[in-house]
Chains A and B, each alone.
Chain A
């Protein structure tokens, strides 16, 4: 197990390296520059800017410096938020995204798993059909339609919540979290249902029934552990998806999270900030995936490392 974890950690480093290099290359190959705007800038100022940010050095020196800085955990200084280190921005934005994201996934699990179990236990019943239709709606309604629709109903008609404001951990979070959660709820419910259906047909469940356990005990002690495995393995890629989801939700509800900074950084060509966020999320996702794989091994006795 330890060897497996170490080997995976070693794979993570080159992966982050590849992603960072790719992003760096894309930004550098693109036409234009972060200081090129509507108004032409005098040549002397351009020369000054280039000297200050080291853009007058050959590309491999700049690339080497970027990689070296990241290896030391220093993402440099933002080009647009003048003088602000990217690390500071990351640390201020991360709690926002992490709060919204983890609450959304938690809500998805809390609603999706029972719905999926219920649907599987009563397969082809009205409960099954209606929860699966609801799940399909959750997958099909884009979050950038659902979010504004919720704003329209709950903020602008019923006046329950403010349409957008970040106040830390408060009721304002309800709408963003529900918006972000809908799709994962749907996925989790579908995965739970199919996982449970498969497990309920298996031999060890028949054995458990045959030895006289109640439905409740069969479900809680035996079926759940196997039936939830698809949900566990979905959690890895789900985090990668959650990142894009938070971009939209932070945009709609004006939350100062990583996604919002990422889009602004892209529009401003704020290279250190773009690379910082990409590198940071890649590392987070890869580590999270590793944790999920280890958890999977603990839950599924058939898996050996």
Chain B
């Protein structure tokens, strides 16, 4: 998007017009909730990336560091020091093994955001190719392909993901992550395919596609070079809204114990750990839970804001 903004800026100097993207930026920044969302998402992202090394340097805690000193292996409340006085060591407290919850929440943020981003990318690749092919070829092919999407919508696909993860999961933490990326991406492309197909259907009737076809460009190239780049606006909007949905699914699976495996943690598995102690150590549930809810809230607002900004006519639901 940065490239387009730069192009829009150079446009401004020569022609003094406002481009679509420039207009969109302006509208986005006027939407206070979207700006709030953008700021929170930025803070969470930066904290997840930069936070763990900083914590390790200042307090020596990592996400799986269990203190050697036996008196430290217990659940401390937020800001509670070893002697019960105020301390900055654990702003979110510790879990039953004495592990720093802030460090774990930040690691969970890394994993959750990563799953959100990569699975969304997987769903983008599938959704765009499927939708573009369906829209471009049209007719019977289109009808059959969209009928399949309709039917898939109505299936309990999360059940199949659960079976997949429970059967093939927990070989190693990393293969488990890979499985999560692919399986969540593979079940969240349906709406994307519909959106891209709709865009391509209206785009392919335009002259530039006819011109490309007349000069002998192959269908594959027309789709990749001429049609898909023109669908980018709605695709970006929907991708932003897919990220929180996928993160929610990942957290749901991790909450059930078949998503991210120990020693890694995600917000879902941290909440699951916290639930067992809610009566005595409520912060173990609240810290990851609130962080997650706030992040999803912000991502949703950002997505809604982007939609209103990029396509004022699409202001729906």
Contact = CB atoms under 8 A, between A and B. Distances in A.
Interface in A256-287: 262-263, 266-267, 269, 274, 277-278, 281-282, 285-286
Interface stretch (A42-50, A60-68, A148-156, A172-180): A148-156
B252 A274 contact: no
Interface string B150-162: 0101111111101
B171 to A, nearest CB: 8
B297 A140 contact: yes
A278 B168 CA distance: 18
Interface string A132-145: 01001101111011
A131 interface: no
Interface in B210-251: 244, 248, 251
A185 to B, nearest CB: 14
Given A11-B151, A156-B279, A243-B158, 18 more contacts: A136-B297, A136-B300, A139-B296, A140-B300, A142-B251, A142-B292, A142-B296, A144-B255, A144-B275, A148-B278, A149-B285, A190-B317, A243-B156, A247-B256, A262-B159, A274-B163, A277-B159, A282-B155
A22 interface: yes
B155 A19 contact: yes
Contacts of B278: 148, 151-152, 156
A240 B156 CA distance: 5
Nearest to A32: B167
A281 B156 contact: yes
B258 interface: yes
A263 B282 contact: no
Contacts of A31: 168
Contacts of B289: 142, 145, 148-149
A285 B293 contact: no
A240 B285 contact: no
Contacts of B301: 136
Contacts of B159: 23, 243-244, 262, 277-278, 281
B54 interface: no
Nearest to A141: B293
Contacts of B274: 148
B163 A286 contact: no
B194 to A, nearest CB: 12
Closest 7 CB pairs between A and B? Answer: A30-B167, A266-B166, A145-B289, A140-B297, A140-B296, A194-B317, A244-B158
Interface in A91-147: 133, 136-137, 139-142, 144-145
A80 interface: no
Interface in B261-311: 268, 271-272, 274-275, 278-279, 282, 285-286, 289-290, 292-293, 296-297, 300-301, 304
Contacts of A23: 159-160, 163
Nearest to B248: A142
A255 interface: no
A226 interface: no
Interface string A1-39: 000000000010001000100110011011100000000
A136 B297 CA distance: 7
B164 interface: yes
Interface string B117-132: 0000000000000000
